[in-house]
């Protein structure tokens, strides 16, 4: 079945929470990091997973490297949806990067989780991605 699961692209900084989430999810995924010069190019439609790095007002919530990635129309074209990450203790800006990307790219915000995610988050995201693979159109709300 995994052939129908959409590809994954994710950002994770050196604190590595999102990376640990992806490892536990156990699905192939392309990583974006602040240190890289050459951005990866996804070969098929993908879901983007992105943590939040806002200041107190919500500015800068989406990491610069993710903005650079999405600024390229060819890379942006394949985005199916976004999953936001963060920490609820940041209050009103919890998971803000996911909301901003959804709005900017006009794709659904599929899910939001905290830090490296719980086992429940992993199960829900895996099931959701499988469903998305089977009925790709149903997300075009």
Partner 1 sequence: MKDMTETKIPRAINWNRLDDEKDLEVWNRLTVNFWLPEKVPLSNDIPSWATLTDHEKQLTIRVFTGLTLLDTIQNAVGAPSLMPDAITPHEEAVLTNIAFMEAVHARSYSSIFSTLCSTKEIDEAFRWSEENPHLQAKAKAILDTYAPGNDPLKRKIASVFLESFLFYSGFYLPMYWSSRAKLTNTADLIRLIIRDEAVHGYYIGYKFQRGYEKLSEAEQQEMKDYAFGLMFELYGIENQYTEELYDELGLTEDVKVFLHYNANKALQNLGFEALFPPEVSEVNPAILAALSPDSENHDFFSGSGSSYVIGKAVATEDEDWDF
Ligand X SMILES: Cc1cc2nc3c(=O)[nH]c(=O)nc-3n(C[C@H](O)[C@H](O)[C@H](O)COP(=O)(O)O)c2cc1C
Binding site for partner 1 (CB under 8 A): 13-17, 20, 34, 53-62, 64, 67-68, 70-71, 73, 76, 81, 84, 87-96, 98-100, 102-104, 108-112, 114-116, 118-120, 124-125, 127-129, 131-132, 139, 141
Q: Residue 74 binds what, of ligand X, partner 1, none (CB under 5 to 8 Å, by partner type)?
A: none
Q: Are 103 and 96 in contact (CB under 8 A)?
A: no
The smaller minimum CB distance to ligand X, of residues 87 and 139, is found at: 87
Q: How many CB atoms lie within 10 A of CB 105?
A: 16
User: Measured from the CB atom, is 115 or 130 closer to ligand X?
Assistant: 115
Instruction: Specify the residue, 39 or 136, whose C-beta has the smaller distance to ligand X.
Output: 39
Q: Which is nearer to partner 1, 30 or 76 (CB)?
A: 76
Q: Is 33 helix (H, G, I), strand (E, B) or coil?
A: coil
State the nearest-atom distance from the C-beta of 44 to partner 1, in Å: 20
Distance of CA 91 to the CA centre of its chain: 20
Residue 9: strand pairing partners? 30, 48
Question: What is the binding site for ligand X (CB under 6 A)?
Answer: 12-13, 15-19, 51-54, 61, 85-87, 90, 93-96, 115
Which phi and psi (to 5°) does residue 97 adopt? -55, -40
CB 97 within 8 A of CB 84: yes
Q: Among ligand X, partner 1, none, what binds residue 64 when CB lies within 5 to 8 Å by partner kind?
A: partner 1
Q: How far is CA 100 from CA 14, 61, 66, 89, 96, in A?
A: 22, 8, 12, 19, 6
Binds 91: which of partner 1, ligand X, none (CB < 5-8 Å by kind): partner 1
């Amino acid at each position: 079945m995994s052939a129908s699961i959409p590809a994954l692209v994710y950002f994770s900084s050196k604190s590595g929470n999102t990376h640990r989430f992806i490892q536990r999810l156990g699905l192939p995924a392309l990583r974006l990091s602040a240190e890289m010069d050459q951005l990866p190019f996804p070969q098929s439609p993908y879901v983007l997973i992105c943590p939040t790095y806002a200041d107190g007002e919500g500015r800068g919530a989406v990491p610069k490297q993710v903005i650079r990635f999405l600024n390229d129309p060819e890379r942006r074209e394949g985005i199916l949806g976004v999953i936001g990450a963060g920490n609820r203790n940041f209050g009103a800006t919890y998971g803000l990067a996911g909301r901003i990307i959804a709005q900017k790219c006009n794709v659904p915000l599929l899910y939001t989780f905290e830090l490296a995610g719980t086992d429940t988050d992993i199960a829900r995201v895996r099931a959701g991605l499988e469903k998305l693979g089977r009925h790709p159109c149903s997300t075009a709300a």
